[in-house]
Amino acid sequence: MKKILSILLAAMLAFSALGATSMMAFAASNTVASPEHTTRDNDKIGQVNGKVSDDVDYEVDPTDPTKISFTYTGNGDFQNWQFPGMTEGKDYKVISVDGNTITIQLINGYEGDVIGNAIVKFQRAVLPKPAQPGLPALHLPAQVQQFWLP
């Protein structure tokens, strides 16, 4: 009886020693969540009159990534800023406005895309006057006219 008991005890001891080493391996798993808070990097998009444009630059404050400055650098007559898809007071607040530059701060953990839309007035393009009625729109040399026209 003592032999059976000692064999059983040795088997239990070996089993628990093997189990403890495998448990330590699980503790080193990469799936353990970090206690630090992580934030999503918002996409920043510059637009002019609703169309993506290189005439709008943005800069994120290096000390506070929730503060973003948008600057209109184009040649049109700058009017105002809009932030489509966002609500002022709910998703962002305006920190400062200086000429063609606005600085906003994202609030309430806003994680969507940030679109800075500059409303700009452009001078009307000068269009050529339409052709007068009765005049041919296309003047072709006589040889070409004979070839193409009956």
At 94-137, the pLDDT tens digits run 999 999 999 999 999 888 899 999 999 988 764 444 545 555 55
At 12-40, the pLDDT tens digits run 777 777 666 655 555 555 555 555 555 55
Burial class (CB in 10 A: 0-12, 13-18, 19+), 12: exposed
How far is the C-alpha of 27 from the C-alpha of 29, rounded, in Å? Answer: 5
How far is the C-alpha of 113 from the C-alpha of 86, rounded, in Å? Answer: 9
Per DSSP, the three-state class of 119 is: strand
Beta bridge partners of 105: 67, 93
